[in-house]
């Protein structure tokens, strides 16, 4: 009888995926971020912006997880807004809770953004190109201090 009950219930589990995106930012001076999730900025030696979004969805079925991935719920868009200004925006800024027959699903999203090392932080959501060797070396020293 117990086996019948176990197999008649839908199986919900934890699903995880890492979404990678890259953005060309030639001749861009300013980068602005308007993202739903908190994010970490990492300096790197490349000349593009790379993003790594790690998504974990708990208490959902595989079809629910697949549906939201296909709808690009966790992706972001990058757009050249004006000369020299590139803006990143989450596809879904509202992110309504995911509900199933058995209750609400829990989702955890973490974002890492890899920026070319020539960009320095101006404010929490604003980074600016600075090719001076002092700015780049100061940023590298600051990162070493945080390790």
Tens place of pLDDT per residue across the chain (147 aa): 444 444 445 556 799 999 999 999 999 999 999 999 999 999 999 999 999 999 999 999 999 999 999 999 999 999 999 989 999 999 999 999 999 998 999 999 999 999 999 999 999 999 999 987 454 455 455 555 655
In our burial notation (b when 16+ CB lie closer than 10 A, e otherwise), range 50-89 reads: bbbbebebebbbeebbeebbeeebbebebeeeeeeebbbe
Domain boundaries, the chain: 11-116
- Give the side-chain half-sphere CA count within 13 A for 112: 9
Q: What is the pTM of this model?
A: 0.79
């Amino acid at each position: 009888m117990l086996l019948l009950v176990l197999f008649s219930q839908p199986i919900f589990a934890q699903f995880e995926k890492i979404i990678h995106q890259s953005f060309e930012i030639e001749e861009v001076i300013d980068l602005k971020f308007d993202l739903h999730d908190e994010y970490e900025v990492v300096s790197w030696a490349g000349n593009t912006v790379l993003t790594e979004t790690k998504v974990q969805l708990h208490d959902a079925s595989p079809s629910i997880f697949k549906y939201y991935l296909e709808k690009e719920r966790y992706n972001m868009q990058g757009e050249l807004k004006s000369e020299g200004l590139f803006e990143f925006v989450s596809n879904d800024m509202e992110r309504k809770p995911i509900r199933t027959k058995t209750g609400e699903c829990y989702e955890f999203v973490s974002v890492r953004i890899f920026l070319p090392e020539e960009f320095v932080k101006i404010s929490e959501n604003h980074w600016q190109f600075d090719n001076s060797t002092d700015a780049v070396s100061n940023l590298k020293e600051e990162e070493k201090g945080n390790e």
